[in-house]
Structures are given as C-alpha cells and as structure tokens.
Chain A
Amino acid sequence: MGYDLKLRVWRGDENGGGLVDFTVPVEEGEVVLDAIHRLQATQAHDLAVRWNCKAGKCGSCSAEINGRPRLMCMTRLSLFDPAEPVTVTPLRTFPVIRDLVTDVSFNYEKAKTVPPFTPPEGLALGEYRMAQVDVERSQEFRKCIECFLCQNVCHVIRDHEENKQHFAGPRFFIRYAELDMHPLDTLDRKRQLRDEHGLGLCNITKCCTEVCPEGIKITDNAIIPMKERVVDTRYDPLTRFIRRFRSPEQPRRPAPERQGQTAADS
C-alpha cells in the first residue's frame, strides 16, 4: 500500500543551504533511494545525489537518514513511521559539493599513504601459497565496499576537523589489520599505524562497527587486535623481552618512511 512520504532533504552547497520539505508518493517495499529518485524525477530535477548499484555494493549512496549514517539504497521505508517526516542529509564529516553529494577525497588521500601489500622478494604473482585459516581474518576486511560511513561517523574526525591530519580512520585501520595479519606480507606497519595514522586516537567506542553496512566487526576484529599488537611491540616490556630471544614468526621489515606530504596533510 502506497502513501505520501514527508521527505525533508538538505539542499545547498558549501555556501549555505538548509532542509527543504517535500511530499513524495511511495510504494510498499521501497527504500529511501527510491523516494529520492522519485523526488528528483518529479519535483526537484536538479537534486544532486550519488548512486550506482542500488544493491548495497558500490558504496556510493551514503547519507545520513534521520541523523544516522546509512546507505540510502539499503534503508527500507518500512523502518519509519509513515506519519513522521524522514530527513536525509549529506555526510557531515566531508566537504559538501552539492545537496547530498560530498567530496570524499580525504579517504583516497589516506589510502595512498598506506604501504601496499609487500610479498617476500622473489615470489612472483601466481606463486603465493597460503592456508585458508591464515588468510581468513584478512578476508573479512576485504568485504569493505568503501562507503566511508565508518569514516563519517567516527567522532575523532567528525567532531574534530583538526585530527584529520593524523588519523586514517576505521576504514584504513581494517586495511592495516588485513595486511598486518596477512601470512605473506613482509612489512611491519605498527609504528606507522600508531605514529602517523593515529590508532591511539580511537577510543574504541564502536560507532564504525555500528554503521558498517557490510557488518565488518571493525573494532573487535581489527582495531583492538591492532592495539594489542602495538602494545606487543611498543609498550609491553615482557613481550619485548621475550621477542629478543625468540625469533618472531616471520621477520618483518619496518615500513618505509613516508615520502613527502600528501594532499590530506597539507
């Protein structure tokens, strides 16, 4: 059964804007993105909105719906009381381009500063051999669709713009975890993760985990284990002492010092 949805959408650009009220007819089973598309097709032809797959797999349609970071294409309207308006605003943590579209290049700049997978020298593509149990943990993190909802919700940068310089954010903490736990990776990234990418700024309050549409246990499976690994190498005198006598499982080279500044830093 269809009904008239009261939709409140943020419209504007970096110079100003505000919430605008619309009434959009919707059908049973529809999602917020359907309503936004109908609004665009019938009333607000110049409404800017980014989307691609409508299947929760491209990570383009991230927005804040009734104040909560969500994918518009995966948020059913049946979640909301039809009598109440539904508010859709752009991601708060990134600069707005127009209406619901934000500039998420902060994340691409950070991505560039994470040293890539570095297999042992002399091992060519196609020669990688590893046991499934050894890569299982890393595989969870490969599910990431880069919607950046976790980056957006993280209070470290959401509420403190100045931290953007020294904080990579949960999406890249899972990238670090993926590589650090990888059986064939040869770099030791823990110093960089702590000193340059601000693992210590995270206070494990788990909002990234709460919003991740892929259900990745970002805090429990990546951030906390990486914090523990940093303790192993940095703070715990006992593990450091033991490590001196026992060769680690696989010797790792420290990650190279960062070359120059990136756009996100300047």
Chain B
Amino acid sequence: MTTQSRVPSIPAPAAPRTGRRAPVRGRTLRTDRWWAQPAVTVAVLTSFVVYSTWAAFVDRDYFWEPYLSPFYSPCLATRCGLVPGSQGAPHVGIFGSWWIISPAIIILIVPLGFRLTCYYYRKAYYRSFWLSPPACAVAEPHRRYTGETRFPLILQNVHRYFFYLGFLLNIVLSYDAVIAFRDHQGRWGHAGLGTLVLVLNALLLWAYTLSCHSCRGIVGGRLNHFSRHPVRYRLWTWVSRWNRYHGQIAWVSLVWVALADLYVRLVAAGWITDVRFF
C-alpha cells in the first residue's frame, strides 16, 4: 500500500447543515435584456386598452354601409343608427331605447372577459404588470404569493364560459364579414378594402378562439382513451397544432381588431374613402 496517492482531505463542515440557500446577492445575475419583453407587453397592452376604451365610449362613427365596427357588433340597443356615423346600423334591440350610453359597452364584456382570463394573456400580464415574475430567474418584488388559489384570481377558472360566449360572438362577426360583400347601396357581389379588413378580422378571431386551451380540453383533452373517440381525437390534434401558436395569434388578432375598428371609424367619419375593389 505504498503507492496510494494522496487525496486532499475535504474539511468536515464546521457546523451541522442549516439548509440555507447559497447567499448569492442581487435580484438576478442575468446579463441579457430580460426587461425588454415585459416592457413591450406593457406598451402594447396599455395602448390597446386606451384606444379601445376611447373607441367604446365615444359612441359614434362605427357604421358605414356595409361595414360595422367589431367593437359595436352585435349592437344590442335601439340607439344604434341614431348617432352620427351609424345611420342604418343593424341592431338587435334587446336593450331597447333606455340604454343611453354607448351600446359597445354591453357586448365588449365578452371579448374583455375572454382575453382577461385567457391562459396566454394571464402569463403576459402576470409577468409584465404584476411582475410575478418579471422574467425567468428574476426575483419578484412581492412578499407573499398565493397564485390563483384565492379570490379574485380563482375566478380565472371561468375561462371556458367566456370561450363559449366568444365562440357565439365570432359567428356574429363572421356574419358581419359576409354582409361586407356588398356595396354602399346594399347590392351583393361587391368588395372593398373594408371587406378584406373584416374578413381577416373574423379569420384571426376564429384562429384565436379555436386555439384556446379550454377549447383544447373540451374537444378532447379531457379524454383518456383517444382510441375510442376517433373524431374527438382528430379535433384535439387539430386544435393542439394551432394551440402552439396561441400566444402569437393572441397578439395579431388583438392588434387587428383595433385596426378594423379604426378603419371603419375613419371611413364612417369621412376622413378617408373606402377603396372599392369591384
């Protein structure tokens, strides 16, 4: 036993283990621009909220035959058509004439609730507005954290009901896109730039709605035996494929719906004239 190499002895710990974490200083050691993404999210979401609040309350310039702004569709009060820039707007008078503020407020609850409880937007605003966490491996500023276990955040669990409502709303918005294939006098078989805007709007909203995580669960995610439900398995595979891009679709459809409102608004107010294709 003469050739045994000398192994440097590891000193025994001075005291019993305390179970403490390594005292690394600093909120994060990340060196990249981790703050950029939350900053962009705050900027885009804030601009959208400011614009859409204004557009919803201003209560004018939302209809120019045959285009109806998606913010005001379906119009649920008889007030539609009476304010400037809305003459001839189709309406379903459920709320009658006593509803005297902007009718957009009634229907916007659906897309607002749908997007507010959306799994993707939750991630986006928890990170950027609530900083919980602002970015991965960057400490959050809150002392206590209960996640989605308490009121009010436990209400996020209603998301699927907003999915059902959003689905119905999309049918209406698709109808709006179809009737946009008319000219200003109401004759069928015509189209303008506004038609394209509304058709794209409807398609993007369908992409957003059908790629929803709740949708994925409803069509098949809750099953354990796909082999016994071939149709639902097909649907689930299809939704899953789109679901991967749900975050990106969420942004594009959000921006597009605001642009669609803006386009109809500018045309209805007479700021621009609709480009007619045929």
Query: Do A and B associate with each other?
Result: yes
Q: How far is the CA of A180 from the CA of B224 in the complex (A)?
A: 8
Min C-beta distance of B119 to chain A, whole Å: 6
Count A-B contacts at CB 8 Å: 168
Min C-beta distance of A118 to chain B, whole Å: 14
The stretch of B96-104, B121-129, B195-203 that contacts the partner chain: B121-129
* B189 interfacial by beta-carbon distance below 8 Å: no
Contacts of A180 in B (CB 8 A): 224
The stretch of A23-31, A52-60, A93-101 that contacts the partner chain: A93-101
Taking A96-B22, A103-B19, A224-B119 as contacts, is the C-beta distance between A250 and B29 under 8 angstroms? Answer: no
Contacting pair A89 B29 (CB below 8 A):
yes
Contacting pair A235 B157 (CB below 8 A):
yes
Nearest chain-A residue to B17 (Cβ)?
A14
* B4 interfacial by beta-carbon distance below 8 Å: no
Taking A64-B29, A68-B30, A200-B154 as contacts, is the C-beta distance between A17 and B145 under 8 angstroms? Answer: no
Min C-beta distance of B143 to chain A, whole Å: 8
Main SS of chain B's interface residues?
loop
Contacts of A78 in B (CB 8 A): none
* B115 interfacial by beta-carbon distance below 8 Å: no
* B136 interfacial by beta-carbon distance below 8 Å: yes
Using C-beta atoms within 8 Å of the partner chain, give the interface range for chain A: 35 or more
Contacting pair B29 A66 (CB below 8 A):
yes
The stretch of B50-58, B68-76, B215-223 that contacts the partner chain: B215-223
Using C-beta atoms within 8 Å of the partner chain, give the interface range for chain B: 35 or more
Q: How far is the CA of A5 from the CA of B142 in the complex (A)?
A: 37
Contacts of A131 in B (CB 8 A): 225-227
Contacting pair A10 B24 (CB below 8 A):
yes
Could you tell me which A residues sit within 8 Å of B by CB distance? 10, 12-17, 45-46, 64, 66-69, 84, 87, 89-90, 92-97, 102-103, 131, 133-134, 153, 155-156, 158-160, 163, 180-183, 198, 200-207, 210-211, 220, 224-225, 227-232, 235-236, 249-250
Could you tell me which B residues sit within 8 Å of A by CB distance? 8, 10, 13-15, 17-24, 28-32, 119, 122-123, 126-127, 132-133, 136-137, 139-140, 142, 144-149, 153-154, 157-160, 213-214, 216-217, 221-228, 233, 243-244
Q: List 20 A-B contacts (CB under 8 A).
A: A14-B19, A15-B15, A67-B28, A67-B31, A67-B137, A68-B30, A92-B22, A95-B19, A134-B226, A158-B139, A183-B225, A198-B149, A203-B123, A203-B153, A204-B126, A205-B127, A220-B243, A229-B221, A231-B159, A235-B158
